[in-house]
Amino acid sequence: MNATYKILSLHLVEGQLKRGEEIGIRIDYTLTQDSTGTMAYLQFEAMGIPRVKTEKSVAYIDHNTLQTGFENADDHMYLTTVAKKHGVYLSKPGNGVCHQVNLERFAIPGKTLLGSDSHTPTAGGLGMLAIGAGGLDVAVAMGGGAYYLPCPAVVNVRLTGKLRRGVAAKDVILEVLRRLTVKGGVGKVMEYTGEGIKTLSIPERATITNMGAELGATTSIFPADAMARDFLCAQGREQDYTPVLPDPDATYDETVTIDLSALEPMVALPHMPDNVKTLREAGPVKVDQVCIGSCTNSSYLDMMRVARILKGKTVHPDVGLVIAPGSRQVLGMLAANGALNDMIQAGARITETACGFCIGMGQSPRTGAVSLRTNNRNFFGRSGTKSAGIYLVSCETAAASALSGVLSDPRALDVDLDIPMPEKFAYNDNLILPPAPPEAAGAVEVVRGPNIRPFPQAEKLADNLNGQTLLKMEDNITTDHIMPSDSKLLPFRSNIPKLSDYCLTPVDATFPARAKAAGGGILIAGQNYGQGSSREHAALVPLYLHIRAVIAKSFARIHRDNLINNGILPLVFQNEADYDRFDQGDELALDGVRALVTTGAEVIPVRNVTKGFTCNTLLKLSDRQRGMILAGGLINMVREKE
């Protein structure tokens, strides 16, 4: 068995480990962050379960930390009190980005983790089977329910050789993205093996599993070996170590081989993480801004390499350099050993240990800027400046370019980049608040500010569905298109009515008004619809706008689940060419759709009333998903069963 199937088989509670068949797995740990967490805890509360049933559940506050109005702070209060009451640990703002803190303080090899954030697979760097999901799925897991997924295929990413100086783990995952694209991982787990993995530290492995999310993969995982043991020891967590290794004769569905020694520094050009070129191919692009940090590249090792490159130098006069260390542990260690001062003296603007620039919470670049960043996504508009182009690179490339003012190869620097792994990290968990003990939980009052509004709930699937094609979209529409999130909108993650005014506006600014005037309708999309974030808001807001179905060439995994959980039909063109026969404004009818779904039909005919033709779409659902679609979402289904 490979390592993935070993963990899956130990957690299997429903189904069989047969590719593509739906399985249910037990979830040991959950993770939420604030921008998806408020909704997840509202849903958890709606289930009426007094205390989480997982081994450990942790709520992090790291996304919405700008606090330009009362909204974020109110959300923080709600999260702090709801966590305390229901048995959840709370990582306070300032403690760090959820995935970095989780890696340092909580991740355990061989356990399962479900997180309401698409980069939850970061913990795969330590051999944890860590999966990103919508808030509702995480709420169910907190309540002790299984997590359902199609049994994944496992890809063996075999690493050989050793990275050369100046070539980073980020370049490895950019190479995987270059080869496999942003939809190359759908339905798959990427399991890393081979001699080359022994040369990669845990934070480097975590960079790779983190950005595996951009492949659309279910998750990515490294084995837990001596490197994992040493990392856990250095975090004072030796008792958390269990080896997780594939059997010597393990089998895989596919193999991809990468020779680390042959890699060179890479860059993902705007506006997709798979738009990858070597630095040589990209050339010396002039740079306006450099941002270093995010859950992909903000570990102690990353930051120390940056500090080494910056030490004694000054940032190029035309460049703004922003550095956000990933956690308080990292920031504290940089402060103690003087590296922070090297960064400050070089001219870096140090921001708090949070998501910050990565999600457009501040540091939006100037009009038309070239912004070089070490995070994982460069989707259109995500930086908060629509006309800017985001280029994704390693920390080494980012720091070298900040000094030269143009996209620069760090291999040309005469700097020692060999940073030893500390024997002990300076850990301190005093910003992680434990929950109230069960006997005191009843007295904890959950504080709800005025920004916390009820979430919409779907209705039972109607006998027939009719509606106008409100919007026809291209391939690779991201959740940042469907429900944009920047410093102005993130404060409203608990306020679906407010967010509805911005739904799909990066594609068409008139969409919300038209959807409201039409009283709802149907969306048409291309390949990989809904890639990116786990945000359930990308389904809840369309639900609020009465979107009843999305017809696409294909869907991204988490978004498809979020649509089904909220009773919205995800239909796939049986014949992709039919996509071309639809236009915005066409009236569509799904005759007898309820009867079809009830009988388990996988083919749903869609009648284009305006153009006078009918074409087939596919709806492949498990029995459980069929129940949700018929009942109008997961919550209704659970209620019906009660």
* Axis crossing angle, helix 226-234 with helix 202-211, rounded to the nearest 10: 110
Q: Using alpha carbons only, give the angle 435, 137, 537 rounded to the nearest 5 degrees.
A: 100
In angstroms, what is the minimal distance from the CB of 188 to ligand MIC? Answer: 19
Q: What does 174 bind: ligand MIC, ligand SF4, none (CB cut-off 5 to 8 Å by kind)? A: none
CA distance 43 to 39: 6
CA distance 453 to 482: 20
Q: What does 52 bind: ligand MIC, ligand SF4, none (CB cut-off 5 to 8 Å by kind)? A: none
Nearer to ligand MIC, 117 or 396 (CB): 117
The single-letter DSSP state of residue 462 is P
496: nearest Cα among 536, 526, 463, 440: 536
- Asked whether the beta carbons of 464 and 569 are under 8 A apart, the reply is no
Task: Tell me if residue 260 falls in helix, strand or coil.
Answer: helix
Q: What does 97 bind: ligand SF4, ligand MIC, none (CB cut-off 5 to 8 Å by kind)? A: ligand SF4
Task: Tell me if residue 264 falls in helix, strand or coil.
Answer: coil
- Asked whether the beta carbons of 322 and 292 are under 8 A apart, the reply is yes
Residues in contact with ligand MIC by the rule CB under 6 A: 35-36, 63, 117-119, 132, 359, 485, 532-535
Using alpha carbons only, how large is the chain's radius of gyration in Å?
Answer: 24
Nearer to ligand MIC, 29 or 573 (CB): 29
* DSSP states of 52-85: --SSEEEEE--SS---SSHHHHHHHHHHHHHHHH
In angstroms, what is the minimal distance from the CB of 118 to ligand SF4? Answer: 7
- Asked whether the beta carbons of 57 and 30 are under 8 A apart, the reply is yes
CA distance 630 to 642: 16
Amino acid making up residue 608: N
In angstroms, what is the minimal distance from the CB of 319 to ligand MIC? Answer: 24
Asked whether position 294 contacts ligand SF4 by CB under 6 A, the answer is yes
Q: What does 36 bind: ligand SF4, ligand MIC, none (CB cut-off 5 to 8 Å by kind)? A: ligand MIC
Number of chain residues interacting with ligand SF4 (CB under 6 A): 11
Nearer to ligand MIC, 534 or 566 (CB): 534
Options 4, 156, 235, 375; binder of ligand SF4; rule CB under 6 A: 375
Q: Give buried/exposed letters for 566-600 (b at 16+ CB in 10 A, else e).
A: bbbbbbbbeeeebbeebeeebebbbebbbebbeee
Nearer to ligand MIC, 359 or 539 (CB): 359
Options 6, 11, 119, 557; binder of ligand SF4; rule CB under 6 A: 119
Which helix (DSSP H) or strand (DSSP E) does residue 350 occupy?
A: strand 349-350
Q: What does 207 bind: ligand MIC, ligand SF4, none (CB cut-off 5 to 8 Å by kind)? A: none
- Calculate the alpha carbon distances from 526 to 393, 405, 438, 478, 553 in Å: 28, 38, 49, 11, 5
Binding to ligand SF4 (CB under 6 A) within 192-251 occurs at none
Mark the segment that binds ligand SF4 (CB under 6 A) among 351-359, 455-463, 558-566, 627-635. Answer: 351-359
Asked whether position 376 contacts ligand SF4 by CB under 6 A, the answer is yes
CA distance 120 to 469: 34
Which residues touch 48 (CB under 8 Å, ≥6 apart)? none
- How is residue 110 written in tokens? 């061989």
- How is residue 112 written in tokens? 């399962």
- How is residue 478 written in tokens? 């991201």
- Asked whether the beta carbons of 136 and 334 are under 8 A apart, the reply is no
Nearer to ligand MIC, 351 or 408 (CB): 351
Mark the segment that binds ligand SF4 (CB under 6 A) among 67-75, 355-363, 558-566, 604-612. Answer: 355-363
Options 88, 358, 372, 637; binder of ligand SF4; rule CB under 6 A: 358
Nearer to ligand MIC, 231 or 380 (CB): 380
Mark the segment that binds ligand SF4 (CB under 6 A) among 130-138, 239-247, 353-361, 486-494. Answer: 353-361
The single-letter DSSP state of residue 103 is I
- Asked whether the beta carbons of 435 and 448 are under 8 A apart, the reply is no
- Calculate the alpha carbon distances from 587 to 228, 517, 608, 641 in Å: 56, 15, 6, 35
- How is residue 365 written in tokens? 């670049």
Q: What does 240 bind: ligand MIC, ligand SF4, none (CB cut-off 5 to 8 Å by kind)? A: none
In angstroms, what is the minimal distance from the CB of 429 to ligand SF4? Answer: 20
Q: What does 485 bind: ligand SF4, ligand MIC, none (CB cut-off 5 to 8 Å by kind)? A: ligand MIC
- Asked whether the beta carbons of 89 and 433 are under 8 A apart, the reply is yes
Mark the segment that binds ligand SF4 (CB under 6 A) among 196-204, 271-279, 354-362, 543-551. Answer: 354-362
In angstroms, what is the minimal distance from the CB of 100 to ligand MIC? Answer: 13
Q: What does 43 bind: ligand MIC, ligand SF4, none (CB cut-off 5 to 8 Å by kind)? A: none
In angstroms, what is the minimal distance from the CB of 116 to ligand MIC? Answer: 7
Measured in whole angstroms, the distance separating CA 580 from the mean position of its chain's CA atoms is: 31
CA distance 6 to 154: 12
Asked whether position 169 contacts ligand SF4 by CB under 6 A, the answer is no
Q: What does 294 bind: ligand MIC, ligand SF4, none (CB cut-off 5 to 8 Å by kind)? A: ligand SF4
In angstroms, what is the minimal distance from the CB of 379 to ligand SF4? Answer: 11
Asked whether position 295 contacts ligand SF4 by CB under 6 A, the answer is yes
Nearer to ligand SF4, 111 or 119 (CB): 119
Nearer to ligand MIC, 246 or 356 (CB): 356
Q: How many residues does the chain have?
A: 642
Q: What does 200 bind: ligand MIC, ligand SF4, none (CB cut-off 5 to 8 Å by kind)? A: none
CA distance 597 to 602: 8
In angstroms, what is the minimal distance from the CB of 122 to ligand SF4? Answer: 8
Binding to ligand SF4 (CB under 6 A) within 10-69 occurs at 63
CA distance 310 to 239: 37
The strand order across the sheet containing 432-433 reads: 129-132, 112-115, 29-33, 56-60, 89-91, 432-433
Q: What does 81 bind: ligand SF4, ligand MIC, none (CB cut-off 5 to 8 Å by kind)? A: none
Amino acid making up residue 209: T
Nearer to ligand MIC, 5 or 41 (CB): 41
In angstroms, what is the minimal distance from the CB of 533 to ligand SF4? Answer: 7
In angstroms, what is the minimal distance from the CB of 211 to ligand SF4? Answer: 9
Asked whether position 76 contacts ligand SF4 by CB under 6 A, the answer is no
Q: What does 560 bind: ligand SF4, ligand MIC, none (CB cut-off 5 to 8 Å by kind)? A: none
Asked whether position 107 contacts ligand SF4 by CB under 6 A, the answer is no
Asked whether position 331 contacts ligand SF4 by CB under 6 A, the answer is no
Residue tagged 């090297």 (tokens): 342
In angstroms, what is the minimal distance from the CB of 504 to ligand MIC? Answer: 15
Question: Which residues contribute to the site for ligand SF4 (CB under 6 A)?
Answer: 63, 97, 117, 119, 294-295, 355, 358-359, 375-376
